[in-house]
Structure 1
Amino acid sequence: MSSSLVHKTRESTIDYKFCIHTLDSDPRTTTADLVGLANISLDLTFHNATDTHVYISRLLENANEPTIKKWLNICHEKYGYALAGISDSFNDLAYKDYENLNLSAQLVGAQALQCEKSFGAKEESHKSPLSLRNDDLNRLSDIVATIASILNPDLLV
């Protein structure tokens, strides 16, 4: 892959260091073109969302407090939507529909942000147990959206 495209992708994301760490963690990145990089990013996003969805299910099984259970149910639903959005993103990429890929990726990130907001006030007793996972999903989806924007320069305007 052209180092200028890698650099452009990393520079355009909301978290440069996270993008470097994430993309460098996958050995496929070194030989991927931009579409390949989008596929890799979607794979990583899918695995993150799937793992978090399962994790939320386990938290729900052990949750006793009704308020926490309510918030976790909201997050479980949001991650279900995120997984559906990631599936749509794979299809968008396959059909070279980069505008919808960008939109789908942004919506996936929004699901993570909505999950985080569902925990309301940041009181210590009600701190979200999903903050890091939500942040990761948001940053991963931003990488996908950024790549979609580079693939479709009309989105950068």
Structure 2
Amino acid sequence: MAPLQALSSVLLLLLVAQHAHTAREAAHDYDFCVKTLGADPASAMADELGLVVIAVRIARATVKATGDRIAQLQAAETSPRRRMVLEECAKDYALTVRRLGRAVRDFAAGGDEGRLTEAATLLEQVRGTPARCDKAFVFWVGERTPLTDADHELNDVTVLALKILQHCLNNGAK
């Protein structure tokens, strides 16, 4: 029962935390939270920290898939500028995979406040990875990014994990 209460508390937290957003945006956040975390059967029995781990693992899978997609684009690319930008994007996504892996290890090692704060820092560093790639394409190539909406979902999942983690830190959950 407690894990279901944790999921309900997180969902309520996300809705309340969005007081500056419109009702439509809050409903989108709620739907995204339910869809994302609900995709993992373990979420039904997870406590708040478990929900953070699930969100981080989903973010890591998203990053790995985008990294694979970038590698495919690199293999087919003939423009030197586009190839250069894809290389920079690939490096950034590889670093993002490592950061998310470290965050998961921090959670697995225990929920002390120092490790949770370090994990939050890693998640903050991950935010913006798709935007950095987008900006590089515009700046160096003068074109829109080849990244898709699915690639950009990384930010939404990362923000979700950060909001739940912040709730854990504010309530002393370990």
TM-score range, shorter chain: 0.7 to 0.9
Change beyond 3 A, Cα 1:105–1:134: same
TM-score, length basis structure 1 = 0.84
SS of alignment partner, residue 127 of structure 2: helix
Q: Tell me the C-alpha RMSD between the 2 structures.
A: 2.3
Count the aligned residue pairs.
152
Q: 2:22 maps to what in 1?
A: none
Look up the match of 1:79.
93
Q: Give the whole-Å Cα distance in 2 for the aligned partners of 1:141 and 1:69.
A: 27
8 Å CA contact retained: 1:116, 1:131: no
Deviation track 1:117-151 (CA, whole Å, cap 9, x = no partner) reads 21126x9x822111424421111111121121111
CA offsets 1:57-85 (integer angstroms, 9 cap, x no match): 11100011122112111110110110011
Q: Which has the larger radius of gyration?
A: 2
Do structure 1's residue 19 and structure 2's residue 36 form an aligned pair? no
Is the 2:134–2:144 Cα contact (8 Å) retained in structure 1?
Answer: no
User: Structure 2-normalised TM-score?
Assistant: 0.77
- Give the AA of the match of 2:144: K
Contact 2:11 2:33 in 1 (8 A): no
Identity %: 20
- Does 2:169 correspond to 1:152? yes
SS at match of 2:137: coil
How far the C-alpha of 1:10 sits from its partner, in A, is 5.7
The code of the aligned residue for 1:110 comes to G
Q: Distance in 1 between matches of 2:57 and 2:15?
A: 17
- 2:111 is equivalent to residue 109 of structure 1: no
Q: Is the 8 A contact 1:29 1:40 kept in 2?
A: yes
Matched residues in 2 for 1:11 and 1:78: separation?
33
Cα separation, partners in 2 of 1:131 and 1:106, compared to 1, 3 Å: farther
Deviation string, structure 1 residues 47-104 (Cα, Å, up to 9, x no partner): 1111111111111000111221121111101101100110111122123222111111
Question: Counterpart of 1:70?
Answer: 84
